[in-house]
Structure 1
Amino acid sequence: MRVDFPRYVHGYSGPEARRLGDQADVLAGLLHAGTRFPAGSSVLEVGCGVGAQTVHLLAASPHIELTAVDRSAESLATARETVARRFPGAHVRWLHADLFDLPATGFDHAFVCFVLEHLPDPVAALAAVRELVRPGGTATVIEGDHGSAFFHPRSTAAQATIDHLVGLQAAAGGDGLIGRRLHPLLCAAGLREVVVEPRTVYVDGSRPGLVDGFTRNTFIAMVDGVREEALAAGLSTPDEWDRGIADLHRAAGQDGTFHYTFFKGTAVRA
Structure 2
Amino acid sequence: MSKQAVYTHGHHESVLRSHSWRTAENSAAYLLPYLKPSMTLLDIGCGPGTITADFAKILSEGHVTGLEVPNSDVLEKARANAAARGVTNITFVEGDALALPFPDATFDVVHAHQVLQHVGDPVQMLKEMRRVTKPGGIIGTREADMSALAWYPEIEGMKDWQEGYLKVARANGGEPEAGRRLHVWAKAAGIPKEDLKVAVGTWCFYTPEDRAWWSGLWADRTVSSNFASSAIKHGIYTQEELEKIAQVWRTWGAEEDGWFAMMHGELIVRV
**Percent of pairs with identical residues:** 22
Which amino acid in 2 is paired with 1:146? M
Is the deviation greater in 90-99 or in 227-236?
A: 227-236
Q: Specify the SS of the correspondent of 2:127.
A: helix
Deviations 1:154-190 (A, max 9, x none): 2452221222222111111111111111121122223
Counterpart position of 2:196: 194
Report if the CA contact (8 A) 2:48-2:75 is conserved. Answer: yes
Which amino acid in 2 is paired with 1:91? N
Counterpart position of 1:133: 133
Does 1:258 find its partner at 2:263?
A: no
Alignment length, in residue pairs? Answer: 260
Shift of 1:211: 2.1
Mapped to 2, the partners of 1:131 and 1:6 lie a distance apart of 22
Query: CA distance change for structure 1 residues 69 and 236 in 2, over 3 Å: closer, same or farther?
Result: closer
Is the deviation greater in 220-229 or in 90-99?
A: 220-229
Q: Specify the SS of the correspondent of 2:37.
A: coil
TM-score, structure 2 as length reference: 0.85
Report if the CA contact (8 A) 2:14-2:221 is conserved. Answer: no
Mapped to 1, the partners of 2:237 and 2:7 lie a distance apart of 21
Mapped to 2, the partners of 1:89 and 1:255 lie a distance apart of 40
Is the deviation greater in 41-50 or in 122-131?
A: 41-50
Q: Specify the SS of the correspondent of 1:245.
A: helix
Report if the CA contact (8 A) 2:216-2:249 is conserved. Answer: no
Counterpart position of 1:29: 25
Mapped to 2, the partners of 1:89 and 1:151 lie a distance apart of 38
Counterpart position of 1:229: 230
Counterpart position of 2:181: 181
Mapped to 1, the partners of 2:144 and 2:74 lie a distance apart of 21
Deviations 1:184-241 (A, max 9, x none): 112222334211211123333xx2343234x325555544542343244332344543
Which amino acid in 2 is paired with 1:80? R
In structure 1, stretches of 5+ residues that fail to align are none
Mapped to 2, the partners of 1:222 and 1:184 lie a distance apart of 30
- 1:49-198 correspondence runs (5 A): 49-73=47-71, 74-86=73-85, 88-99=86-97, 100-106=99-105, 107-192=107-192, 193-198=195-200
Which amino acid in 1 is paired with 2:26? L
Report if the CA contact (8 A) 1:40-1:64 is conserved. Answer: yes
TM-score, structure 1 as length reference: 0.85
Mapped to 1, the partners of 2:148 and 2:270 lie a distance apart of 27
Mapped to 1, the partners of 2:235 and 2:251 lie a distance apart of 25
